[in-house]
Amino acid sequence: MKIAVLAGDGIGPEIVAQATKVLDTLRRDGLKMETEVAAFGGAGFDAFGDPLPESTLQLAQAADAVLCGAVGGPKYDALPRAQRPEQGILRIRKALNLFANLRPAIMYPELVGASSLKPEVVSGLDVMIIRELTGDIYFGEPRGRTTNAQGDTEGFDTMRYSQTEIRRIAEIGFQTAMKRAKRLCSVDKENVLETSRFWREIVIDVAKQYPEVELSHMYVDNAAMQLVRRPKQFDVIVTGNIFGDILSDEASMLTGSIGMLPSASLDAKRKGLYEPIHGSAPDIAGKDVANPLATILSVAMMLRYTFNQDEWAQRIEKAVKAVLGRGLRTADIFEPGMTKLGTQAMGDAVVAAL
Ligand code: IPM
Ligand code: MG
């Protein structure tokens, strides 16, 4: 197992260091794998003038899986779009064909009090959001600036999805639902968008191969509302790139902290890039306060989805639960009566629990 490790910017290096400790512990216990680090995001720009340096892309292509921290920071905000750290993540997704983004939102019983919603609304929550990741308005052409007939300048992007793109992400949605409660909700904006009308048609067609899955459709605005109203109605959600970007941030917060949630971005052969769903949090970078658990849980997802090592994955997940059960908390999930730990101490606690 070859893992490319791209720590990135802000809190990225700190949280990835904790995930690396976890990997080292598993290696000590017999898990066979190699890791190699490379510059990415703002760090890639600093070292090579490119958020996705050629050498980093080659390493990621050669590896079986990629572990990422986070990218971006105020230092890079003024750069032209092509050089911004965010382009590094968008380009690596596209280059590795990582079209399926799995973002689970799971409520840990120990953290029910950390959610901004009432305990009865969120306790037991377990939603899997599947976001299409290499198409839609994020990549659609044409895009740019133009001058219209009135002489006014316009900015524009293009929302588009091909049948192939919709079909393959719908398949992932149905297959995931089959392994869970067999309920799939496809989210679109079919009442307004042509892209969404086509999306819905194709999803309905793919559904014929999965008669056991109960398929529903929901407009994205309603889905945003239902997620805070009655989130437990959802099992698996499948949606396009931009809707999934927004809804997955919303869903993460139901669980109390965006600092807890891992993600997997997979290609058709289950090669994957694994990262926490939160960002680089420049305001707390270097202060040893960031929550490393989302990154550590991303390693568990990596072992499960790319390497088919479910037992090792469960071992990590159990260690995280044990740490929470002992009342150990980083600042983002801290409640009175608990023990507050820094980033490194939390990493050490997980290693000890392993
Ligand atoms: C995410 C992030 C990225 C996205 C940004 C950093 C480009 O918000 O992974 O959700 O929009 O996809
Ligand atoms: Mg996002």
297-316: string of b/e by CB count within 10 Å (b at 16+)?
Answer: bbbbbbbbbbbebeebbebb
Query: Of the residues 64, 126, 157, 245, which is catalytic?
Result: 245
What are the residues facing 289 on neighbouring strands?
Answer: none
**Based on the domain organization, do 3 and 92 belong to the same domain?**
yes
Give the residue, by CA position, lying nearest to ligand 1 atom 5: 86
221 tagged catalytic: yes
Q: Is 245 in the pocket of ligand 1 (CB under 6 A)?
A: yes
Where a domain ends, among 260, 279, 308?
260
274 tagged catalytic: no
pLDDT tens for 187-203 read 999 999 999 999 999 99
**Based on the domain organization, do 218 and 238 belong to the same domain?**
yes
Structural domain harbouring 254: 115-260
Which pLDDT belongs to residue 144? 96
Q: Are 110 and 122 in contact (CB under 8 A)?
A: no
Which residue bears the tokens 């090792």? 312
Q: Are 332 and 294 in contact (CB under 8 A)?
A: no
40: pLDDT confidence band, cut at 50, 70 and 90?
very high
**Based on the domain organization, do 214 and 274 belong to the same domain?**
no
**Based on the domain organization, do 245 and 351 belong to the same domain?**
no
Give the residue, by CA position, lying nearest to ligand 1 atom 4: 245
Distance from the CA of 73 to the center of ligand 1, in angstroms? 13
Residue 109, in any domain of the structure: no
Give the residue, by CA position, lying nearest to ligand 1 atom 8: 245
Residue 44, in any domain of the structure: yes
**Based on the domain organization, do 119 and 256 belong to the same domain?**
yes
pLDDT greater than 90 at residue 60:
yes
Q: Which ligand is nearest to the CA of 276?
A: 1
Domain of residue 174, CATH code: 3.40.718.10
**Based on the domain organization, do 286 and 189 belong to the same domain?**
no
pLDDT tens for 338-353 read 999 999 999 999 999 9
At residue 262, φ and ψ (nearest 5 deg) are -90, 175
Domain count across the chain: 2
Element containing residue 121 per DSSP (H, E): helix 119-122
Where a domain ends, among 232, 260, 288?
260
Q: What pTM value is reported for the model? A: 0.94
